[in-house]
Structure 1
Amino acid sequence: MIPAQDAVSSRVQTRTGLSLLIIGIVLIAANLRAPLTAVGPIIGEIRGETGISNTWAGMMTTLPLLAFALLSPLSPRIARRLGMEPTLFAGLIVLLAGILLRSLSSVAALFAGTALIGIAIAVSNVLVPALIKREFPNNVGTMTGIYSVSMNLCAAVASGVSIPISQGLGLGWRGALGSWALLAIVSLAAWLPMLRSRQRPQAVQTSAAVKSDSLWRSPLAWQITLFMGLQSLFFYVNISWFPAILQDRGMSAVSAGWMISIMQFASLPATFFMPILAGRRSDQRGLAVGVASLFLVGYLGLLVTDTAWLVPLWVILVGIGAGSGFGLAVMFFALRTKSVRQSAEMSGMAQSFGYLLAAVGPTLFGFIHDSTGGWTIPLLLLLFAAGGLLLAGLKAGKYGYVMAEADKEKEAAKGNR
């Protein structure tokens, strides 16, 4: 069996191999949010043509999140059997199929394609952070920042161009959503060299063993999961319903779409620098407080004032919170684990239950709006959730390791027998 470090060095030692790997990671990251953020600005157009309700429109965001929840724990197992690179490549194929299917004429195809997109993204969500920890052990923070920026930059572009493609180019909402197939095709081409130089699947198993049952008994692991879930809930509620909130307050569809882009662009610096800052310190509780505070101020501003010129400020604050929150959550997978396999398992657990929590957000948000006819109660719920993010971040940000914590509890339990 080839040791994991030797398998890594066989590719990363060459400058060309390193460049190809970074390009591959950037392209995969670019695919992980754009197919989802492209929906929000044209959700009204989709509802108008298909006749679906706000609740069902929320399901267009909820379905991928449910796929994240169901598939995330399985992704590390698939990668151990096939290898990380082939698994990521297969995920891109499924993503391409989902994008094309979603662009067909029927409502059934719309939701079936959306589900496939969720399945594909779930795999990469879990494996890319573990791949970064494996291939760049001394630069996890920087590479996580690059990965996160790529994801959010493309997400921002997708939010901004949906209306111009749909209405400006006359391609309709199907053309706006289907256009992202081009990015998936380019990404598939870029990952072909990775298949030829990939690590052997068996080598993934040489990492320190991790018992899933011990991980799931770790309070720290659950705090990381809650932090991941709440920041994800904010992100998907934002991209799904912020355009509708702003349009109900008199903003045009184009301007509301660009507000989402502004939110995403505002997140980029925080998305890049937060992993670097987190990686340079052993305790991240102060960073977690900052993340929660940004959400609290931003949502409170949207709730209490309708002043048009202040809207960009609240949107920017929420965007910075979203970028820094995601970057910190992903870094917890590396900072609170001792091996690549532990990182993958922690990522799978956090994204499984975390995205299950996040899946409730868009549909519940739409349902409450339909029931109350306003946005006050939904925004109050976001403020309450931001308080929960603060508490989870204070626990997850404290120095420690998930398995060490679980092992201590197991030893204490044995001693009490």
Structure 2
Amino acid sequence: MDTTTHHRSRARSLALGASLALMAFSLRTPVTSVGPILIDAVRATRLSSSGASLLTTLPSLCFGLFGPLAPWAARRLGSERALLALLILLACGTALRVVPSWQSLYAGQIVACFSIGLMNVLLPGVVKRDFPHHVALVTGIYSAAMCAGAAAAAAATVPIANLLAHMPGNSGNAAWSSALAVWALPAAIAAVIWLGQLPPVEPGAQKRASAIGRLLRDPLAWNVTLFMGTQSSLAYIVFGWLPTVLRMRGMSAVDAGFMLSLSVIAQAGASLLLPVLVARLPDQRPVNAGALLLAGASLMGCFFAPLWTMWGCAILLGIAQGAAFTLALTVIGLRSHDSRVAAQLSSMAQGIGYLLASAGPFIAGALLHATGSLSSLAGLCAGICVLSAWFGYAAGRRAHLKLASD
């Protein structure tokens, strides 16, 4: 390869990596923007307690239900053009929440999370194909960008609503919905940039037989899937209910949203550093289990420790959950023989895992509204942490799936 070709290839890789990072930034903003403003949305739309619980359940439920459609979308459009279509749909769904009604809030959240569910599955395949020698690094970058978007939405949604409420022609009752719709902008920008430098489609790359039937009979595949599902369940309980818990403890809406944002910022740091370090370890069992036990301890601090300690609890919780999410993604590759098996395991782990995870936020909301006590919700979270540590330990043992690539 001559110098000019090398520079062009490097420039294309950098542009592609930047586009993936911007795309990843948009993948959690529709989710974490709801938690800090949930109480206001419930009051304005007169949602029932079960309706509020269902709203916080929608992300993981949609990810689980719709994620398995990603291979079909890739076959029909190619991975890159499927991602472009999904980015546009994500922007439209997020913008739909501008209408201050529960119907629009639900419809917008479903459309946005449908798009995210498919993109969750497609992105790891694009990374593995276009960055075969830097999978861990690029995975860390897009995981950190995802966390950055989640943190921005958690911290800025309430201040944006407060700003919009004082603008001429806007009412306080509608400001919360306008603030939710603002997060359509990053997805729209990402779509424009992605359109300008679409990589070529690889013909026939997706037309290979699936090994999902054999994966479903592999205990190690189930350990990986349940590790993904349980840590995701805890994550979406935190996204959906931590600000409400802190507000119930006497914290303001702005401060509660900021604590969630601080936690997600800490997740970004863990996401950047952990993939490269963990890939060098022969056995991930201690770090997998340790991340979930740290998450449980710091979350109990958020429930019961003095409010002046919330900074430390939020940061530790973020480090633990960022580590858990990154480890759940990393073991998919480490337990697979090659990228094709890893892609199929990713589809299983994220499809089934997120579907199982969807029960967590709904049960959390039901417990909170039924008992009015934080103790019941804390018990649920502690139980999920123990289960996830168990499955993480099993998924981290040095072994490969008993499945050879065709």
Query: Do they fold alike, i.e. is TM over 0.5?
Result: yes
User: Which runs of 5 or more residues in structure 1 are unaligned?
Assistant: 1-9, 408-417
Equivalence for 1:308: 307
Q: Does 1:53 align with 2:48?
A: yes
SS in 2 for 1:73: helix
The aligned residue for residue 191 of structure 1 is 194
Does the Cα contact within 8 Å between 1:220 and 1:402 map onto a contact in 2? yes
338 and 110 in structure 1: CA distance in 2 versus 1, 3 angstrom threshold: same
Structure-1 residue corresponding to 2:289: 289
Structure 2 residue aligned with 1:318:
317
Query: In the TM superposition, what are the counterparts of 1:60-71 in structure 2 within 5 Å?
Result: 60-71=55-66
User: Aligned partners of 1:377 and 1:96: how far apart in 2?
Assistant: 37
Corresponding residue SS for 2:205: helix
Q: In structure 1, what is the equivalent of residue 120 of structure 2?
A: 125
List aligned pairs for 1:16-31, cutoff 5 A.
Answer: 16-31=11-26
Are 2:82 and 1:87 aligned? Answer: yes
SS at match of 1:202: coil
2:104 to 103, 109, 131: 109
Cα distance in structure 2, aligned partners of 1:122 and 1:82: 17
**Aligned residue number for residue 411 of structure 1:** none
Return the alpha-carbon distance in structure 1 between the equivalents of residues 49 and 338 of structure 2. 43
1:236 and 1:361 in contact (8 A); partners too: yes
Q: Which residue of structure 2 lines up, in the alignment, with residue 414 of structure 1? A: none
Larger deviation, residues 211-220 vs 51-60: 51-60
- Structure 2 counterparts to residues 216-295 of structure 1, below 5 A: 216-295=216-295
Q: Is the 8 A contact 1:82 1:201 kept in 2?
A: no
How far apart in 1 are the matches of 2:367 and 2:255? 25
Q: Are the equivalent residues in 2 in contact too, given 1:69–1:356 (CA < 8 A)?
A: yes
**Counterpart of 2:192 in structure 1: which amino acid?**
A
Quick check: 2:68–2:118 contact (8 Å CA) kept in 1? no
Q: 1:82 to 1:338 in 2, by over 3 A?
A: farther
Confirm or deny that 1:390 pairs with 2:385.
no
1:251 Cα shift? 0.9
Letter in 2 for 1:340: S
Q: Distance in 2 between matches of 1:342 and 1:293?
A: 30
Aligned match for 1:140, one of 135, 139, 147: 135
- Residue identity opposite 1:226 in structure 2: L
SS for the counterpart of 1:26 is helix
2:205 pairs, out of 203, 206, 210, with: 203
Amino acid at match of 1:284: Q
Q: Supply the distance in 2 between the matched residues of 1:183 and 1:161 (Cα, whole angstroms).
A: 14
- Separation of aligned partners in 2, 1:340 and 1:95: 27
User: Quick one: structure 1 residues 405 and 352, their matched pair in 2 at CA, closer, same or farther if it must change by over 3 Å?
Assistant: same
CA distance in 2, matches of 1:185, 1:257: 24
- Say whether the 8 Å CA contact 1:228–1:354 is kept in structure 2: yes
* Contact persistence 2:58–2:113 (CA under 8 A): yes
What is the distance in 1 between the residues matched to 2:322 and 2:7? Answer: 28
CA–CA separation in structure 1 for the residues paired with 2:48 and 2:105? 14
What's the offset of the Cα at 1:259?
0.6
Residues 1:216 and 1:294: Cα distance change in structure 2 (over 3 Å): same
Contact 2:214 2:403 in 1 (8 A): no
> Does structure 2 conserve the Cα–Cα contact (< 8 Å) formed by 1:24 and 1:190?
yes
Corresponding pairs, count: 394
> Which one-letter code corresponds to 1:351 in the other structure?
Q
Gaps in structure 2 of 5+ consecutive residues = none
Partner of 2:359: 360
Counterpart in the other structure of 1:180: 183
- Distance in 2 between the 1:302 and 1:104 partners? 33
Q: Structure 1 residues 399, 193: closer, same or farther in 2, change over 3 A?
A: farther
Q: Does 1:35 align with 2:30?
A: yes
2:330 counterpart residue number:
331
| CA distance in structure 1 between the aligned counterparts of 2:373 and 2:188, rounded to whole angstroms | 41
Find the counterpart in structure 1 of residue 380 from structure 2.
381
Give aligned-pair identity as a percent: 38
The answer to whether the 8 A contact 1:71-1:122 is kept is: yes
- Please give the secondary structure, in 1, of the residue aligned with 2:312: helix
- Looking at structure 1, the residues matched to 325 and 221 of structure 2 have their Cα atoms a distance apart, in angstroms, of 16
Q: CA deviation at 1:11?
A: 11
What does 1:403-414 align with in structure 2 at a 5 Å threshold? 403-404=402-403
The alignment's TM-score, normalised by the length of structure 2, stands at: 0.92
Q: How far is 1:193 from its partner?
A: 3.4
Paired residue type of 1:323:
G
Q: Distance in 2 between matches of 1:311 and 1:55?
A: 28
Does residue 159 of the first structure (1) align with residue 162 of the second (2)?
Answer: no
1:405 to partner: Cα distance: 8.5
Q: Deviations over 1:228-254 (max 9, x none)?
A: 111111111111111111111111111
Q: Give the match for residue 5 of structure 1.
A: none
Q: CA RMSD in A?
A: 2.0
